Amino acid sequence: MDRPLGITVSRHIMDLQRMHPEATGDLSGLLSELIVAAKTISAEVNMAGLADVLGMSGKTNIQGEEVQKLDEFANNTIKRRMARCGYICVMTSEEEEGIIPVTDGYEGKYTLAFDPLDGSSNIDVNVNIGTIFSIHRRKSDHGKPPMGRRSTDVAEGWEPAQGKPGSEEDLLQAGRDQVAAGYIIYGSSTMLVFTTGEGVYGFTLDPSVGEFFLSHPEIKIPERSKYFSVNEGNYCYWDENMRRYIDHLKQNDKESGRPYSSRYIGSLVADFHRNLITGGIFLYPKDNKSPDKPTGKLRLLYEAAPLAFIVEQAGGRAITGDGREIMDIEPDQLHQRVPLIIGSRYDLDEAEAFLACRK
Ligand code: AHM
Ligand code: MG
């Protein structure tokens, strides 16, 4: 029987580009390169499930090469591919302390922040993990050349930034200024979900042809949910308001649909993805567990901000619980942590009211 003709992710990206006649194609090129990296990681993750050996680095594979840990493999795959793609000027990764420069001569106009393999505690136990990415235009991009100039000219008061190395400052930008963000979830199937600010689209990898096909067009998160996702083992470290909110969700009140069901995998991408599709609220609030993480566990640039962009595009919200929208936070450090409360709009509004309560 003939396969139904699906819309490939490349076709979708080309269609997006066509809607913007001023587009240069750089963002499309960048996304396409990232997708190749994602397919490479997906293949390796699937192998790990079968072989059950890849968690231990220091081993050698059948070719006598040293086997990398999966998170190290994912980091290197993205870093090496993107360093020579020609569309970005600098990167940051959860796996590396400092900025990651691109190869000399390949500097482009975007920046890339990524978590190569999120959900590290699940990597070795065959539970869903994912890659998260966030793309900004470089701050030092001085825009289009003035009339009559080509981008290679240097005019008075205007200098093309493309071709120059990017800096930490280029990466330290608010979520609100993202041009694209997304994640790849390595689950029962591999899915790519992303936004360029014009809705959220999901694609499922057909491994038999190695192509992502549109499976979830224009994703909208249900406005109200019946699921909450939080590590309740941290209950004793939360403040009073947070405890009251979770107690509230667990109370029996048929009219308002409580108690909510609890769903927590411990892999942000997987917990977020489920809530995006079914509706739900995910919380990793601030707690007093460890003095070095007073502001929660999750990272702003490559965990909270990209998922906030996606959830807002899908009709939901993302907040810190202390009066700030995740998208508005101006970062001052690459690996800055933030409290993250994200998901269905009604639930976010309710959580916000509980958490702001002063008594
Ligand atoms: P990681 O980046 O080291 O994988 O940590 C982030 C993960 C998230 O995927 C997940 O939401 C959270 O940490 C789980 O933390 P906990 O085990 O404290 O519940
Ligand atoms: Mg992570």
CA of 77 to the centre of ligand 2 (A): 16
CA of 146 to the centre of ligand 1 (A): 47
Residue nearest to atom 14 of ligand 1 (CA): 266
Is the pLDDT score of 154 beyond 80?
no
pTM attached to this predicted model:
0.91
- Position with higher pLDDT, 169 vs 60: 169
- Which ligand neighbours the alpha carbon of 122 most closely? 1
Architecture per CATH, domain 9-216, reads as: 2-Layer Sandwich (3.30)
C-beta separation of 119 from 259 below 8 A: no
Domain with CATH 3.30.540.10 in the chain: 9-216
The closest of 115, 272, 283 to 202, measured between CA atoms, is 272
CA of 18 to the centre of ligand 2 (A): 34
Q: What's the mean pLDDT when you consider all of the chain?
A: 89
CA of 92 to the centre of ligand 1 (A): 18
Which of 298, 300, 303 best tests ligand 1's pocket when mutated (most atoms within 8 Å of CB)?
298
> Who contacts 169 (Cβ-Cβ below 8 Å, separation ≥6)?
139, 140
Write down the pLDDT at residue 295: 82
CA-CA-CA-CA torsion sign (117, 123, 126, 128): negative
Over residues 280-307, mean pLDDT: 91
Write down the pLDDT at residue 58: 56
Residue nearest to atom 12 of ligand 1 (CA): 266
- Which ligand neighbours the alpha carbon of 121 most closely? 1
CA of 127 to the centre of ligand 1 (A): 13
C-beta separation of 134 from 181 below 8 A: yes
Write down the pLDDT at residue 63: 47
Gap between the Cα atoms of 230 and 338, Å rounded: 15
**Residues forming a β-bridge with 340:** 284
Gap between the Cα atoms of 156 and 160, Å rounded: 11
With a Cβ cut-off of 6 Å, ligand 1 is lined by 94, 115, 118-121, 231, 266-268, 284, 297
pLDDT, tens only, 235-257? 999 999 999 999 999 999 999 89
Domain with CATH 3.40.190.80 in the chain: 227-356
Write down the pLDDT at residue 53: 43
Tell which CATH classification among 3.40.50.920, 3.40.50.261, 3.40.190.80, 3.10.400.10 matches the domain 227-356.
3.40.190.80
Residue nearest to atom 18 of ligand 1 (CA): 231
pLDDT, tens only, 18-46? 888 888 899 999 999 999 999 999 999 88
CA of 248 to the centre of ligand 2 (A): 29
Which of 70, 118, 238 best tests ligand 1's pocket when mutated (most atoms within 8 Å of CB)?
118
Residue nearest to atom 17 of ligand 1 (CA): 266
Is the pLDDT score of 71 beyond 80?
yes
Q: Using CB atoms within 10 Å of the CB of residue 27, give its burial: 0 to 12 exposed, 13 to 18 middle, 19+ buried.
A: buried
Gap between the Cα atoms of 21 and 145, Å rounded: 17
